[in-house]
């Protein structure tokens, strides 16, 4: 079974072990340490860490297409945001008549805009199972249509990057419009509860954090399963020599499409877990800057390693939290500098440094970032 194979790998075992230990440790410190203890992890920190884990899952999704398929997507923020919006719509419907205007059906912003009835695409989102399916389906469908058109006409490399960027830019403009029915500028916010649990309680926050950890573990295993399968090898072949793979008789565009859609769905799940923890989803998640930031997390961590993406995402976002707290002006300098330094001096990322250390015992067949260069 392709999904169980990674579980026998040493690297996956280590990754899952570390992740499990971290989640258990945070849970323990949150629940059993007294409030005034220095070791106590506050609910705020738990949510913050949950956010990092969402980003980590998103970075893994990007690494899957960039590292193993050679497609630099500058639009993965769009899939993330679509998943987030699907979740946001479910949470909106859960508010019911507890909104400011007290309308039992319509969310506040629709009442505010004088809408009389729910738009058709909002139907069904009062049911959790439907919303959770849409979390996968909405980004998956967009990726399927977009990927089908792009890969069929063999748009690759820089062109694809620029087009994905245009895609997320167009979606951002669209979601900014009030007429779209997604809350316009302000997005969706003011959520009350999820699956009957109040979002403001610490227990729910901890639950979401643990759920994110589990999602990351599953996402990682899925990606690992894909890259170690035969499909994964073909996809690496597409990355390194697309034309040659095609001449060997593989249907390159199908491989690309499959991996791209899986990656988009993972990004959607990350977005869906992100929204209840952050408490808001608005069109700025579609901004090209966010999408390109994700790529830098992956680049810093080390491309085509998957665990590197997780490290990069957590490191960069931790740095962002610290920087924006201490000196907000310097953050963009730091981020910009990171872009330059990583690409020029650290092409293999942090994972590359780690690999150099333990070169001897390398049973990992992961190609290094240098070979992965497109």
Partner 1 sequence: MSICRSLTLLLIALFSLLSLPATAQEDDPGKALLINLAEAPASKVEEAVNAIVSSGDERARGWLEAYGNNRLSRVKDTGQVVLVLNNRGRDWEIADPLTGENMGEMSRRELDRVAINNRIRGQLEGILAMLDLNAKDPDVREASAQDMMGKVDASLVEPLEAQLAKEEDAAVRNRIEEALAIYRVGEGNLEAVDVLAGSLHPRARAALNEAVRGDNEALAQRAAKALESIEQKLQLNRAAETLYFGLSLGSVLVLAAIGLAITFGVMGVINMAHGELIMLGAYTTWGMQQLFPGQPGLALILSIPAGFMVAATAGIIIERSVIQYLKGRPLETLLATFGISLILQQLVRTVISPQNRTVVTPDWMSGSLVINDALSLTLNRLYVLAFALIVFAGLMLIMRKTRLGLEVRAVTQNRAMARSMGIRATRVDIMTFALGSGVAGLAGVALSQLTNVGPNLGQNYIIDSFMVVVFGGVGNLWGTLIAGLSLGTINQLLEPWAGAVLAKIIVLVFIILFIQKRPKGLFPQKGRAAEG
State how far the Cα of 170 lies from the Cα of 152, in Å rounded to an integer. 22
- Would strands 188-189 and 197-198 be described as parallel, antiparallel, or unpaired? unpaired
Q: Bin 181: left if φ > 0, else alpha if -120 < ψ < 50, else beta.
A: left
Q: Which is nearer to partner 1, 271 or 349 (CB)?
A: 349
- Considering the rule CB under 8 A, would residue 113 count as an interface residue with partner 1? no
Place of tokens 């945070």: 26
**Least spacing, CB of residue 374 vs partner 1, in Å:** 6
Judged by CB under 8 A, the number of residues near partner 1 is: 43
Q: How far apart are the first and last CA of the chain?
A: 31
- Considering the rule CB under 8 A, would residue 339 count as an interface residue with partner 1? yes
Q: What angle do CA 307, 309, 315 make, to 5 degrees?
A: 105
- Considering the rule CB under 8 A, would residue 107 count as an interface residue with partner 1? no
Residues numbered 249 to 308 that lie near partner 1 (CB under 8 A) are 288, 292, 295-296, 299
**Least spacing, CB of residue 235 vs partner 1, in Å:** 17
Tokens of 279: 């408490």
Provide the mask over 157-196, with x wherever binding to partner 1 is found by CB under 8 A and - wherever it is not: xxx-xxx-xxx-xx--xx-xx-------------------
Q: Bin 302: left if φ > 0, else alpha if -120 < ψ < 50, else beta.
A: left
- Considering the rule CB under 8 A, would residue 231 count as an interface residue with partner 1? no
Tokens of 272: 């869906």
Stretch that binds partner 1, among 5-13, 132-140, 325-333, 348-356 (CB under 8 A): 325-333
State how far the Cα of 212 lies from the Cα of 27, in Å rounded to an integer. 13
Helix 288-301 to helix 76-95 angle (10° resolution) is 120
Q: Which of 43, 347, 354, 367 forms a contact with partner 1 (CB under 8 A)?
A: 347
Q: Which of 10, 98, 123, 152 forms a contact with partner 1 (CB under 8 A)?
A: 152
- Considering the rule CB under 8 A, would residue 337 count as an interface residue with partner 1? yes
Place of tokens 């990992």: 364
Applying CB under 8 A, the residues found at the interface with partner 1 are 72, 146, 149-150, 152-155, 157-159, 161-163, 165-167, 169-170, 173-174, 176-177, 288, 292, 295-296, 299, 329, 332-333, 335-340, 342-344, 347, 373-374
């Amino acid at each position: 079974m392709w999904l169980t194979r990674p579980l026998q790998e040493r690297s996956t075992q280590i990754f899952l072990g570390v992740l499990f230990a971290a989640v258990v440790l945070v849970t323990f410190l949150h629940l059993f340490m007294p409030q005034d203890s220095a070791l106590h992890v506050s609910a705020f920190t738990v949510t913050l860490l949950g956010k990092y884990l969402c980003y980590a899952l998103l970075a893994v999704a990007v690494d899957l297409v960039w590292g193993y398929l050679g497609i630099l997507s500058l639009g993965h923020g769009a899939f993330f945001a679509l998943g987030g919006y699907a979740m946001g719509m479910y949470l909106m419907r859960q508010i019911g008549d507890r909104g400011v205007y007290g309308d039992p059906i319509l969310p506040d912003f629709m009442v505010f805009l004088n809408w009389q009835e729910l738009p058709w695409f909002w139907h069904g989102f009062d049911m959790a199972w439907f919303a959770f399916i849409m979390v996968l389906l909405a980004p998956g469908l967009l990726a399927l249509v977009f990927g089908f058109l792009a890969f069929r006409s063999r748009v690759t490399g820089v062109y694809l990057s620029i087009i994905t960027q245009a895609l997320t830019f167009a979606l951002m403009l669209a979601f900014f419009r009030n007429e779209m029915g997604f809350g316009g500028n302000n997005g969706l916010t003011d959520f009350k509860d999820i699956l009957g649990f109040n979002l403001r309680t610490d227990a729910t926050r901890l639950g979401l954090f643990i759920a994110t950890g589990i999602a990351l573990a599953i996402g990682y295993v899925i990606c690992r399963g894909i890259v170690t399968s035969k499909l994964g090898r073909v996809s690496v072949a597409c990355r390194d020599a697309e034309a040659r793979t095609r001449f060997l008789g593989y249907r390159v565009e199908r491989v690309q499409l499959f991996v791209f859609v899986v990656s988009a769905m993972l990004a959607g799940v990350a977005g869906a877990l992100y929204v209840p923890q952050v408490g808001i989803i608005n069109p700025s998640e579609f901004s090209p800057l966010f999408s390109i930031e994700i790529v830098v997390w992956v680049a810093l961590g080390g491309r085509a390693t998957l665990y590197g993406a997780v490290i990069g995402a957590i490191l960069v976002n931790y740095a962002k939290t610290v920087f924006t707290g201490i000196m907000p002006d310097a953050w963009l300098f730091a981020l910009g500098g990171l872009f330059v330094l990583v690409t020029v001096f650290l092409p293999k990322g942090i994972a590359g440094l780690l690999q150099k250390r333990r070169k001897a015992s390398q049973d990992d067949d992961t190609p290094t970032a240098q070979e992965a260069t497109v």
